[in-house]
Amino acid sequence: MSVETSEPAESTSEPAKKDVVQAMSGLMLGMFMAILASTIVSNALPRIIADLHGSQSVYTWVVTTELLAMTATVPLWGKLADLYSRKLLIQLSLGMFVVGSLIAGFSPNVEVLIASRVVQGLGAGGMTALATIVMAAMIPPRDMGKYAGLFGAVFGVGTVAGPLIGGVMVDTSWLGWRWCFFIGVPFTLAAILLLQRTLRLPVVRKDVKIDYLGAALIVAGVSTLLVWTTLAGNQFEWVSGWSALMVVGGLVLLALAVWVEARAVDPIVPLSIFANRTVALTTTASALVGVAMFGGTVFLSQYFQIGLGKTPTEAGLMSLPLIFGLLVSSTVAGGLITKWGRWKAFLVAGGVVMVGGMALLATISASTSVFMVSVHMAVLGIGVGMLMQNLVLVAQNDVPAKDLGATTSTLTFFRSLGGAIGVSVLGAVLANRVTSKMTESFGPLPSGEAGAVPKLTDLPEQARGIIQAIYADATAELFLIGAPIAVLALLAVLFIKEKPLKTLSGDERLAAEMSGGH
């Protein structure tokens, strides 16, 4: 094993600090674009599918393929970051994202659109995994709180702002849905150029091989389970032969992956990191936060449009309190962690506030005022903002530098996986509740209309009021399910032991470890 340094390590001089800030700006810009790609199509999809003459099943796959490619490849990107030039990898992932975005924007049909979303997802997976890995390499945990807070804010804002931007694009006649994909291209190219100028990291080369079999099994197993959660309840019943086949198949593939990883000389996900109590608890909490955050909030846009009768743009604007709460709490908590060097109180407070936000949103109805919904959303945003990115900081602080890449990508992976499963399962619950409530109110529905999303403008006033109440009540039930999941995340945080934040960057720690220091 050897270390080669192609560029000088960052010093503590003012120019170096300036470079760090500029490099962080490039990373945050790239991260924002990657996250935005996952959510910007949510309000635009009805128009996209109609223009490209797609079906309801295609509607699902446009979202799922990007999410699949992003989530399933995160561990592989993390491993590559431990072996090759992180600067090159992050530019490669941004380049893939640009290519995918251009293909998506020019798509002549749904088949090309779905293929482009896979390419976008591969790039986004690399960006989400590598951004925090690069940050850990450059900045000591003791100073990372403020940057982690900003990254958490970027992640949250990208997640929630996407539907707003997508709605505006669709509602603006001289732009249209294709700009949902084009809009990220110039910003991503700017991020590539900024990182080329400012990102200076030692290039670490190790005489090891990538465990391709383990990587393939992980991707296949996760993809099978994600495809199952997407199709179950739509293409076939949750309890059916297809469900059994896909669940068993996915679990067998993941069990084989664990078996292979346990015997690999250099595994994709070192199982030894889970022996670390902090890593195990932060991974659990990250997955549960993903379920609660994505699983609950992704359906708020539908509640605004159907439950409250708002337009896509209005629905996007109504998500601003959630964004604002997340942005403020993530940034303030991160700054205070850096200032005081203490972090557990912020994580516990975030967990408590997140549970409160979920409980408040479980009370919404078709008659709830916009002001009260905004307050409830702001509370949820404040809680998630204090928790999400700081969980990564806590884990990075407590593992050897050689495992930083694998640990960071593992947390990112489980958070994305939790979100994907949350969206699929809670989406199925929502559809089931809506169908059963519609049947109670209007009698058995024709088979072609059972799963259709109604157009409020086409309905008589009395029926419109009933359907608005049905969608509002069903959405509230999702947050009622999400609240105990948020409680479990809080319990995981409570059991994490607070440890002092280290004062050396990841690369400085790695150099010390390899030279036999501590």
Start-end of H helices in 85-183? 86-105, 110-138, 141-171, 179-182
Residues 230 and 312 in one domain: no
Taking the C-alpha atoms of residue 153 and residue 147, their distance in angstroms, rounded to an integer, is 10
pLDDT at position 207 is: 56
Last residue of a domain, one of 265, 282, 308: 265
CATH code, domain with 456: 1.20.1250.20
The burial of 37, by beta-carbon neighbours within 10 Å (0-12 exposed, 13-18 middle, 19 or more buried), is given as buried
**Residues 357 and 439 placed together within one structural domain of the fold:** yes
Domain identity same for 102 and 216: no
Q: Is residue 510 a part of any domain in this protein?
A: no
Give the per-residue pLDDT at 5.
Answer: 40
Residue 518 lies in a domain: no
Q: Are residues 101 and 231 in the same domain?
A: no
Does 43 map to a domain?
yes
Please, are residues 300 and 43 in contact by the beta-carbon 8 Å criterion? no
Q: Is the pLDDT confidence value at 10 over 50?
A: no
Pick 21 or 11 by higher pLDDT. 21
| Residue 256 lies in domain | 211-265
Q: Are residues 315 and 336 in the same domain?
A: yes
pLDDT at 211 over 90: no
Class of residue 234 by CB neighbours under 10 A (exposed 0-12, middle 13-18, buried 19+): middle
Residues 245 and 373 in one domain: no
Least confident of 60-69, 238-247, 493-502: 60-69
pLDDT exceeds 70 at position 295: no
Instruction: Report the alpha-carbon distance of residue 201 to residue 204 in Å, rounded.
Output: 9
Q: Give the pLDDT band of residue 1 (cuts 50, 70, 90).
A: very low
Question: Is the per-residue pLDDT at 156 higher than 90?
Answer: no
Residues 271 and 261 in one domain: no
The most confident of 6-10, 179-183, 439-443, by mean pLDDT: 179-183
> Considering the chain, what percentage of its residues have pLDDT values greater than 90?
9
Question: Do residue 395 and residue 302 come from a single domain?
Answer: yes
Residue predicted with more confidence, 352 or 498: 352
Mark whether 287 and 201 lie in a shared domain.
Answer: yes
**Model pLDDT, residue 357:** 92
**pTM confidence score:** 0.74
Is 2 part of any domain? Answer: no
What pLDDT is attached to residue 454? 56
Residue 256 has pLDDT above 90, yes or no: yes
Chain position carrying tokens 């070192």: 270
Give pLDDT tens digits for 187-208: 888 888 888 887 776 665 555 5
pLDDT at 314 over 90: no
Number of domains in the chain: 2
Per-residue pLDDT, 14: 39
Report the pLDDT value the prediction gives residue 12, as an integer from 0 to 100.
39
Segment 21-52, tens digit of pLDDT: 777 778 888 878 877 777 777 667 767 777 77
7-11, 157-161, 289-293: least confidently modelled range: 7-11
What's the rounded Cα separation, in Å, for the pair 370 and 257?
A: 48
Q: What's the whole-number average pLDDT of the chain?
A: 78
Does pLDDT of 394 surpass 70? yes
Structure tokens at 51: 């223009």
For residue 403, tell me if it sits in a domain: yes
3 part of a folded domain = no
Q: Residue 491: pLDDT above 90?
A: yes
Residues 173 and 252 in one domain: no
Whether 516 is covered by a domain: the verdict is no
- What would you report as the CA-atom Rg of the chain, rounded to the nearest whole angstrom? 23
- Burial of 247 per CB tally in 10 Å (0-12, 13-18, 19+): middle
Give me the pLDDT at residue 191, please.
83
User: Which comes out higher in pLDDT, residue 291 or 256?
Assistant: 256
Residue 349 token pair: 């407070």
Identify whether 380 is part of a domain.
yes
Q: Are residues 177 and 32 in the same domain?
A: yes
Q: Are residues 261 and 278 in the same domain?
A: no
Say yes or no to pLDDT of 82 above 60.
Answer: yes
The pLDDT, as a whole number, for residue 208 is 57
